[in-house]
Amino acid sequence: MKELTIEEKIAEIKSTSNYQDVKNAWFPPYYEKEYYFVSYSHKDYKLVYESLHRLQSGKKRLNLWYDHNLTPGRDWEIEARRYIYDFNCKGVIFFLSENAVLSQSIHKEIEFVKNSGKSYLSINLPCEKIKGHIGKYLPAAQMLELLKQQGYEIENYEDKSAVLNETFNSKITYLPFNEDIESQIDKILSLKRQPLLNIFDSDSGGIVTSINDINVTEIKREDFDYFNERNERKTAAKVGPCAFANCKYLSKIELPERLRFIGRFAFYNCISLKEINSPVCLSVIETEAFYGCNNLKSIYIPIITEKIAAQAFAGCRGLECIIVDKNNKKYYSRDGILYNRRKTKILHIPKAIKGKIIIPQGVTSISDGAFWNCTSLESVTLENNSKLTSIGEYAFRDCTRLTSIIIPDGVTSIGDGAFWDCTSLESVTLENNSKLTSIGDYAFRDCTRLTSIIIPDGVTSIGVGAFWGCPSLKVNIADIAKWCNIDFGYNFLKYVHSLHVNNQLVTKLNIPQGVTKIKDCAFCGCTSLKSVTFSDSVITIGRWTFWDCTNLESITLSHNVNRICMSSFRACGRLDDIFYNGTMQQWKSIKKYIDWDSGTPDYTVHCTDGDLKKGEF
């Protein structure tokens, strides 16, 4: 089939009555190489496509991307952003006509392009009926007059239809609209484009502040070069906060060797980033610098690096290893794990680390969130004679495959949420002679498979909700007196139904001699309890002490009790008898706080000189 000439193709365009036929047959989108973005009113397609065809078929064969059915107004900005912000986009061409100028959105579209930093052309199509205007975007003659009033210098003015170009030096070039326009358009729109990276020059070295193309896939070392006010070529020394944030298509970046600083959220949510080098001069990596870089497999820490902020690699779900230069004086790595140089503190565990890991004996603390979301981690073993003393907040949170852990005897504290949502954790073993004194809030929350834990004698504090959501848990302690003296957080045993002492299920509880106060929430939610007997030494029963002990039937109290605090026996729905070793008058004189017996049935208080029914005192 004979190929049509330009004139024959244009004749076909002029003779068609279907806009879609012309668009689909002649002008597919093209944006893989340098191109111009073209916007127009589809009602003008015959005039526009004749011009476009000349541009695309001429000597230079300009690459064009057409505004194909993009929604006018704000939606147009959202849809067109990807193509206009693309670094390959050399500029934008608007075809202005009566239809375009009166479209109620053209002024917003032009304003958006101006704010994007791209140079643009307004090509005014021949039209005799344009009278109105929107804002400052006017048809040819009116636009020229307005531009003159604003102080623009007008070159090559003619009275016919024209191309108007707003450049960065406040000069307007007015060109005849004819077949020779191709070379003029290319000349005007090929003004020096903005660099890929926006770099602020400062005394401490250039700072990369943002990127001009959110669709870029690769950034090279030379992109970090810039010219200062004295026109000296320099290289950026810092990547500022959020500089590359949300560059979702960026897969590879080559940082310059002189780069010293990577700021907070610098590569936030660069979800496609796979390759990044670490410059020899890199000194600082700020917090959450690589947050959400899920395809980043490894990070190399060079010899000079002296600061890696907490959570610098948070959210890097694909990170498998961190490698530190062996001569770095601040950091150390082993099996892909980041430590301080003295190997006394674990700083970061790559989230994609798998299987079993061994922690060196010199480690004294596991940092906050160190193992958080290590979903492939199965077990953690500490070397013999471990010096570990503390497990930080949320240290093992969401380690969903972790089945067991042995806590050395030197550990004194387990931080808030340390094992929260370790849904496969079945056993927690504390070594003999454990020095553990405190278990933080929500420390074992939602460990749904946890069946047993032994609370050492030295524990004096258990936080709020420490064992919430542990339906299979049997809590053990060697000495019942310790339960009475531990500071429990609110609803400590809310979802722990079985209390064990020396591995024996407790149904009858005898508070031993010497205990003077039973602390808040000590037996809250222990549904196994049926009876409780207090020794003569008990003076105070704390808040929520037996709240929700739904099977508690009887209580035996001495006449020495002088205070029953708020909600102490609340929701004990089967309580029938309180045996009080004192007179009715002594019972009435005990200070009882609000809701101490709320939710109980009509129990009887048996005193030495008679009985009282609930509500008679």
Residue range 30-70, pLDDT digits in tens:
545 777 888 877 777 776 766 666 666 655 566 777 765 67
Q: pLDDT value at position 493?
A: 52
* 598 and 577 in a common domain: yes
The answer on pLDDT for 249 being more than 60 is yes
* 165 and 41 in a common domain: yes
Higher pLDDT residue, 151 or 82?
Answer: 82
Question: Is 451 domain-assigned?
Answer: yes
Question: Is 558 domain-assigned?
Answer: yes
The answer on pLDDT for 134 being more than 70 is no
Question: Is 485 domain-assigned?
Answer: no
For 611, the domain range is 504-617
* 231 and 248 in a common domain: yes
CB atoms within 10 A of CB 480: 16
* 569 and 461 in a common domain: no
CATH number of the domain encompassing residue 585: 3.80.10.10
Domain boundary among 189, 211, 234: 189
* 597 and 511 in a common domain: yes
SS3 at position 407: strand
pTM of the model: 0.58
* 412 and 345 in a common domain: no
* 396 and 279 in a common domain: no
Residues 6+ apart with CB under 8 A from 274: 251, 252, 295, 296, 297
* 171 and 141 in a common domain: yes
Question: Is 154 domain-assigned?
Answer: yes
* 153 and 185 in a common domain: yes
Question: Is 483 domain-assigned?
Answer: no
Average pLDDT of span 439-466? 86
Higher pLDDT residue, 597 or 473?
Answer: 597
* 150 and 78 in a common domain: yes
CATH number of the domain encompassing residue 109: 3.40.50
* 344 and 210 in a common domain: yes
Reported as a single tens digit per residue, the pLDDT across 64-99 is 777 656 776 667 777 777 778 777 777 777 776 666
Surface-to-core class of residue 163, CB atoms within 10 Å of its CB (0-12 exposed, 13-18 middle, 19+ buried) = buried
Higher pLDDT residue, 68 or 613?
Answer: 613
* 118 and 106 in a common domain: yes
The answer on pLDDT for 157 being more than 90 is no
Kindly indicate the confidence band of residue 125, based on its pLDDT and cuts at 50, 70 and 90.
low
SS3 at position 27: coil
Whether residue 239 contacts residue 264, with contact meaning beta carbons closer than 8 Å, is answered with no
Average pLDDT of span 278-306? 95
Question: How much of the chain, in percent, has pLDDT values that exceed 90?
Answer: 36
Domain boundary among 323, 353, 383: 353
Reported as a single tens digit per residue, the pLDDT across 261-283 is 999 999 999 999 999 999 999 99
Beta bridge partners, 252, equal 218, 275
The answer on pLDDT for 153 being more than 70 is no
Average pLDDT of span 524-539? 90
Higher pLDDT residue, 15 or 341?
Answer: 341
> How many structural domains are present in the chain?
4
Question: Is 318 domain-assigned?
Answer: yes
Tell me which of 6-20, 101-115, 159-173, 392-406 is least confident.
159-173
Q: pLDDT value at position 169?
A: 38
* Three-class HEC string of 190-211: CCCCCCCEEEECCCCCCEEEEE
